[in-house]
Structure 1
Amino acid sequence: WIEKDIAPLPIPLDHTSSAVYNGKIYVAGGFLEKKVPTDKLFIYDPNKNKWEEGKPLPTPIGAAINAEFVDGIMYIIGGVNSSQVPVNTNFAYDPQTDTWSIKSPMPTARHHPQSSVIDGKIYVIGGRILGDGIRSEDIDPTLTNFDRNEMYDPKTDSWTIKEPMLSKRSGFAAVVSEDGKIYVIGGQGVGKVTNSVEKYDPLLNKWIYEKPMPTARYGMDAIYSDNKIYVLGGQVLDPEKTPLGLNQVFHIKKNLNLSP
């Protein structure tokens, strides 16, 4: 890790939406202290080791999707507002003009969803729909985890409700394989942490279960590389909320877990 002389974020934040585009890192929204959402947009240039401030979001937002770039436009969808209420907003940012526009809202207001881009369309999957439920370490105390799968087409500015996941979840990981399938992994289910893995085929609009993870967990990250899914870190259900150092690998073609 390199920390010395690297410019930190201008302000402390968590639950931001971030993405990389044309060699720059864009960080939008997120929570300040006491889970207060912000409308800030920060842009980091690694070559200059410098942060700049872009035009603020139309409204403060936290716990939205990861920022997704499609055809040079960044989309921030869902999250919670300053009243800690889930929203269905859809904001589009053009880095060439430093301007935001308001797009067609998502059918279902929610926060803590996952998102994936396939063929220029954004799939927003799962998340939470009711209650405060903002802290990712809570295990669905009000049964608000959600199975909804909604697809946004930026070219037509329209939404299509797709086949929902087989199980409700938030705090899960998601990756896209090279053959255009979405894998959702683990997370917080209904009253428990799950180790289940689902695969979505956009062409068939169908979900199926894949081989489960060896360890049920949530709040982890997942990376797809060379027909393998690496699932890193996370937490299990314990009072201390202890983070994990696990790195478990799923081989897609062999349907085989390669690590204990």
Structure 2
Amino acid sequence: METTRNHVRRRRVLSVGAALTAALALPSTRAVAHPGHPGPGTPAPPLPAEYGRGWQPLKPIGSGPRQEHAVAALGTRLYVVGGIHPLPDGTFETTGHVEVYDTRTRRWTRAAPLPVPMNHPNLAAVDGRLYVLGGLAGGASWQALGDSFAYDPRTDRWARVAPLPEGTERGSAAIGVHGRYVLLAGGMRTLAPVPGGLQDTVDTVSAYDVVTGRWEALPRLPEARDHVGGAVVDGVFHVLGGRDRGQENVRGEVFALDPRGRRWRTRASMPTPRGGIAAAAVGPVIYTFGGEGNPAEHTNGVFSETEAYDTVRDRWYILPSMPVPRHGTAAAAVSGTIHIPGGGTRLGGAPVDTHDAYRPRRGR
């Protein structure tokens, strides 16, 4: 594999070769596109998708296009939770729908919906259950919700758990799991999906104990982040890339926290700073996909980059680009294959039902 010094040159080559992520029921909410960007329901025109080199197309999301959702895996099943989807009148609806993809049968089914519809939900899988710990919802302005729920796949039911403490409510946080703790870093309290609308990014870091139901504050991030990647590898919580108060304010820094030492450290930065990424870990490597805020022409403002961070060597590697570049999606690994369902294909809201997967080669 090439070193970081050769990343820029190699990235240009790759981008040419592969240009082409039971309780309270509240009403769904509608919204327009993200600030200053094209209107909803207008995904980018399809381009020839170049699969191979670890990439494969899979069956599209069963219920149709989805964006700003969360993804997690329980066993061999992949869960797509919440988000937004387009309506016939050109607006978006925040949804609580939960779609389940069985990686063995390659079929989509429905699970019980979230009791409270959310976009940008904070989702984690711990000990056979799913946990949604806050998110965003609303109409003209998406506001943070502290509502939190646990899902048991054996009963197909959601149950309320302790909400985020007052003042820490947020969506779009980096998520990691450390033993019985779900870790949340950064996120946003407000996203006004109108031109020039407020995007309120935070540096808050929290831990939720799924056994006791208690919340704990952890040291704040060195810098505020939202739409950011997160993963725990070997007990260390990594927060990768993201943005700060707007799609164009992309960041490439990587911060790492050992919850026992309670100190953030700065690691090697991403070759391509990006927000709105999908991220998942396989072994000691964290893989990052796509993102939003690409200033280059003919990209629709979306990144196609696939970049992998080796947590042992503190080094980045550039891998084959996404066949269908997207942002506003999420990723989860099942048996070493990383699934990336849904997302948007242009700046702002442009949901698609695309579901593809990347299988890393051994050692990368």
Please confirm whether the aligned pair reaches a TM-score higher than 0.5, indicating the same fold: yes
* Aligned 1:113-152 pairs, distance under 5 A: 113-130=228-245, 133=246, 140=247, 143-152=248-257
**Contact 1:167–1:189 (8 Å) recurs in 2:** no
Deviation at 1:2, TM superposition (A): 4.0
**Distance in 1 between residues matched to 2:363 and 2:328, nearest whole Å:** 26
In structure 2, what residue type is equivalent to 1:190?
Answer: N
Counterpart residue number, 2:288: 184
* Partner of residue 109 from structure 1, selected from 217, 224, 240: 224
| TM-score, length-scaled by structure 1 | 0.82
Count of aligned positions? 241
**Contact 2:337–2:357 (8 Å) recurs in 1:** no
Identity %: 30
**Contact 1:168–1:189 (8 Å) recurs in 2:** no
1:165-191 residue CA offsets vs partner (Å, 9 max, x unmatched): 01111122222223x112212222432
Q: CA RMSD, aligned part only?
A: 2.6
C-alpha change, 1:36 and 1:24, in structure 2 (3 Å) is: same
**Contact 2:302–2:347 (8 Å) recurs in 1:** no
**Distance in 2 between residues matched to 1:148 and 1:11, nearest whole Å:** 33
1:41-70 residue CA offsets vs partner (Å, 9 max, x unmatched): 11223333333222221222111123x221
In structure 2, what residue type is equivalent to 1:175?
Answer: A
1:173-216 residue CA offsets vs partner (Å, 9 max, x unmatched): 222223x1122122224323122221211222121222323333
**Distance in 1 between residues matched to 2:181 and 2:355, nearest whole Å:** 35
**Distance in 1 between residues matched to 2:146 and 2:355, nearest whole Å:** 34
* Aligned 1:17-166 pairs, distance under 5 A: 17-34=122-139, 35-58=142-165, 59-66=168-175, 68-81=176-189, 84-130=199-245, 133=246, 140=247, 143-166=248-271
Note the residue ranges of structure 2 that are not aligned, 5 or more in a row: 1-107, 191-197, 296-300
**Contact 2:250–2:293 (8 Å) recurs in 1:** yes
| TM-score, length-scaled by structure 2 | 0.60
Note the residue ranges of structure 1 that are not aligned, 5 or more in a row: 134-139, 256-260
Deviation at 1:245, TM superposition (A): 2.3
**Distance in 1 between residues matched to 2:348 and 2:200, nearest whole Å:** 27
**Distance in 2 between residues matched to 1:216 and 1:24, nearest whole Å:** 30
C-alpha change, 1:47 and 1:196, in structure 2 (3 Å) is: closer
In structure 1, what residue type is equivalent to 2:292?
Answer: Q
Aligned residue for 1:85, secondary structure, equals strand
Aligned residue for 1:39, secondary structure, equals strand
The worse-fitting range, judged by mean Cα deviation, of 211-220 and 226-235 is 226-235
C-alpha change, 1:226 and 1:16, in structure 2 (3 Å) is: closer
**Distance in 1 between residues matched to 2:229 and 2:171, nearest whole Å:** 14
Deviation at 1:158, TM superposition (A): 1.4
Aligned residue for 2:145, secondary structure, equals coil
Counterpart residue number, 1:202: 311
1:4-30 residue CA offsets vs partner (Å, 9 max, x unmatched): xx5432211111111122222211110
**Distance in 2 between residues matched to 1:172 and 1:26, nearest whole Å:** 21
**Contact 2:292–2:347 (8 Å) recurs in 1:** no
C-alpha change, 1:18 and 1:244, in structure 2 (3 Å) is: closer
**Distance in 1 between residues matched to 2:363 and 2:186, nearest whole Å:** 36
**Contact 2:227–2:277 (8 Å) recurs in 1:** no
**Distance in 2 between residues matched to 1:227 and 1:19, nearest whole Å:** 18
In structure 1, what residue type is equivalent to 2:153?
Answer: P
In structure 2, what residue type is equivalent to 1:105?
Answer: R
Counterpart residue number, 2:93: none
Aligned residue for 2:116, secondary structure, equals coil
